[in-house]
Amino acid sequence: MELLADLSRSLEALVETGGASVVRVEARRSLAASGVIWASDGLIVAADHAVERDEGVRVGLPDGAAVPAVVVGRDPSTDVALLRAEATGLASPRWGDAASARAGRLVLGLGRPGRTIRATLAVVSAAADRWETPGGGVLDRYVEIDGRPHPGFSGGLLVDASGGALGMTTSGLLRRAMLAVPASTLGRVAEALLAHGRIRRGYLGVGAQPVRLPPAARQAYGQDAGLLVLSVEPGSPADQAGVMLGDVVLGLGSDRVHDVHDLLRALQAERIGTRMPLRILRAGAARELAVVIGERG
């Protein structure tokens, strides 16, 4: 019994400490969602899918006060929204290392869909390295929590037994699954949203689909597939570089391209405005075109 009592007290302490960094986000008609204090000056990270409006957003603070907030920016591909609440002196969590999360680890999910903090004991059901979301974003670590997502917990905090915050919880990236967006991903997205109000993405202006290369081409170029160009947007970077219908994209810069996801990964924000070699296969012969990476509007 004493063991259970000690465990109970430990869990209570974790909830009290972590709960000081979890807020209520009122930005939709239905049940409010949760958010996590990112910086003491009022920056809040929340689940983008739960921030349904840009106007009239309010944030419920751990001390019970409710203050107005504005949406700084959004990244639907990682389901992260950055808010700025009219508050200072807030307590951000002690961020842990999501890379240490392993399947079977006990964790606590913390949310504040109402005035008080709510907690749920869970287990990490799956963990893996870098994961590309269905929307084309990237999480630096895949951490899935067992059980059905609780209403209002999206945007909340996931903490481990040591009190380290592993990430922001969300049910908006996979159906019927609760994931944690790691702190490293939150930091990268928040920095970009503060600087630009959006996530900058490179742009070529082609419509394409994967295609297997002929045996001779596979042997000659060391890859099994490429991207068959089905359309080229007039005036786009690809058009200006001379890309034609029927070309097969093999690579961009030092990156090989086998499918659309490879191309999206190669169109990194830091490459916008730079001239890069685009390797293509045209009429069975390899060619190299110079393309200046544009920015998706």
Is the Cβ–Cβ distance between 158 and 140 less than 8 Å? no
Among residues 88, 27, 33, 69, the alpha carbon closest in space to that of 52 is found at 27
Q: Which of 260, 257, 258 is nearest to 277 (CA)?
A: 257
From the options 1.10.3720.10, 2.40.10.120, 3.40.50.720, 1.10.150.20, give the CATH code of 1-194: 2.40.10.120
Domain boundaries, the chain: 1-194, 202-295
Residue 219 has pLDDT above 80, yes or no: yes
- Percent of the chain exceeding pLDDT 90 equals 76
Model pLDDT, residue 221: 87
Taking only the tens place, the pLDDT of each residue in 94-140 is 999 898 899 999 999 999 999 999 999 999 999 999 998 888 788 99
For range 89-98, the mean pLDDT: 94
pLDDT at 45: 98
Q: What angle do CA 11, 182, 266 make, to 5 degrees?
A: 170
Identify whether the C-beta of residue 118 lies closer than 8 Å to the C-beta of residue 112. yes
Q: Output the pLDDT for position 147.
A: 75
Average pLDDT for 208-221: 91
**What does the pLDDT look like over 31-85, one tens digit per residue?**
999 999 999 999 999 999 999 999 999 999 999 999 999 999 999 999 999 999 9
The mean per-residue pLDDT over the stretch 208-226 comes to 91
The CATH-assigned architecture of domain 202-295 is: Roll (2.30)
Residue found by looking up tokens 């917990």 in the block? 153
Task: Name the strand (E) or helix (H) holding 85.
Answer: strand 80-85
In the structure, what pLDDT confidence band is assigned to residue 269 with cuts at 50, 70 and 90? confident
What would the mean pLDDT of 249-275 be, rounded to a whole number?
Answer: 90
pLDDT of residue 23: 98
**Separation of alpha carbons 200 and 193, rounded Å:** 9
Identical fold for domains 1-194 and 202-295, yes or no, is no
- Whether residue 88 is predicted with pLDDT greater than 80 in this model: the reply is yes
- Which pLDDT does position 11 carry in this prediction? 87
pLDDT of residue 200: 85
- Rounded CA-CA distance 202/54 in Å is 26
Mean pLDDT of the chain: 93
Other CB atoms within 10 Å distance of the CB of residue 259: 14
Of the chain, the percentage scoring pLDDT greater than 70 comes to 100
d(CA 31, CA 242): 52
pLDDT at 90: 97
Q: Report the pLDDT averaged over residues 268-284.
A: 92
pLDDT for position 277: 97
pLDDT interval class at 260 (50, 70, 90): confident
Q: What is the pTM of this model?
A: 0.81
